[in-house]
Homo-oligomer: A and B are copies of this chain.
């Protein structure tokens, strides 16, 4: 295995340490950095192979990044020119997937929909931008999404698009879900058996949607697919001090960012390939 130079190491470190960006955004950023690295440093095949492997290991719970890198490696060649071409290709696939999901979702939505969401998925935001661009009237109910408050960023983005948005605490999800025509969230990982991983709180919203009879759609392109066993997954935990809670010898603050949502709570999966109705059934 080749030793990585400082510039290559810093791409790996940045990927490892960026806890703000969503998985798709982070995948795009990382691919852009590898492209720039290829242009500037002209690394040999061995170094490039090592870099791709290290990047693949950097964020095991962000399946999009791993899948994007796997697709690049699947091309079979670690020649710089072949890798450059593969990266450009995969970046386009990532962008096109988001656009295709928005188009599929648009076709399924009723007129003037009230759409509820949790956290701030880039795929869901792309859908909102498509609706606004097409001048289709709609409104949004979004949660604050504590402790990172991504909901604030989403509400500001919607405000910028002149889209009415109702912003609530995470605790008010059950109170408001009945006012939505549909719940739409993003997805970090989609397992073969229909379970998924998304931002903590999504499971609660899915349960509340089920209880109120509101359809629950998940935007999950094929970059989210995982063959792993959901039970084997380690969920990323962030520092507890993000909660700004009191400290004390007997107090443990937990800050698990992602959670498993059981199959049977999602009514539709929307991927770049289209819309699939999900089998609704009891928790296995």
A275 at the B interface (CB under 8 A):
no
Interface residue ranges of A131-177 to B (CB < 8 Å): 143-147, 151-152, 155-156, 158-159, 162-176
Residue of B nearest to A213 (CB): B283
Copies in the complex: 2
A152/B246 contact (C-beta < 8 A), A254-B167, A259-B175 known: yes
Alpha-carbon gap, A41 to B189, bound state (A): 68
Q: Flag if B155 contacts A246 (CB, 8 Å).
A: yes
Contact status of A171 and B252, CB under 8 A, knowing A152-B246, A246-B152: no
Residues of B within 8 A of A176 (CB): 254
**Residue A251 CB within 8 A of the other chain:** yes
Proximity string of chain A (61-101) to chain B, C-beta cutoff 8 Å, 1 when within and 0 when not:
00000000000000000000000000000000000000000
**Complex contacts, A143 vs chain B, CB 8 Å:** 171
Nearest-CB residue, chain B, relative to A212: B283
**Which of A28-36, A107-115, A199-207, A217-225 contacts the other chain?**
A199-207
**A239 in the interface, Cβ–Cβ < 8 Å?**
no
Contact: B200 with A167, CB < 8 Å? no
The reply on A281 being an interface residue by CB < 8 A is no
Cβ-defined contact, B204 with A155, below 8 A: no
Partner of A207, one of B168, B174, B200: B174
A interface, by DSSP: helix, strand, loop or mixed?
Answer: mixed
**A interface residues, tally (CB under 8 Å):** 50
A156 to chain B: closest residue by CB: B246
Q: Can you name the residue of chain B whose Cβ is closest to the Cβ of A235?
A: B175
Q: How far is the CA of A84 from the CA of B162 in the complex (A)?
A: 59
* Residues 237-256 of A at the B interface (beta carbon under 8 Å): 243, 245-246, 248-256
Residues of B close to A252: CB separation below 8 A: 164-167
Can you pick out 19 interface pairs between chain A and chain B where the beta carbons lie within 8 Å of each other? A143-B171, A146-B146, A146-B171, A151-B245, A158-B250, A158-B251, A159-B249, A162-B249, A166-B254, A167-B252, A170-B171, A172-B201, A172-B254, A173-B204, A175-B200, A203-B208, A207-B207, A207-B211, A211-B283
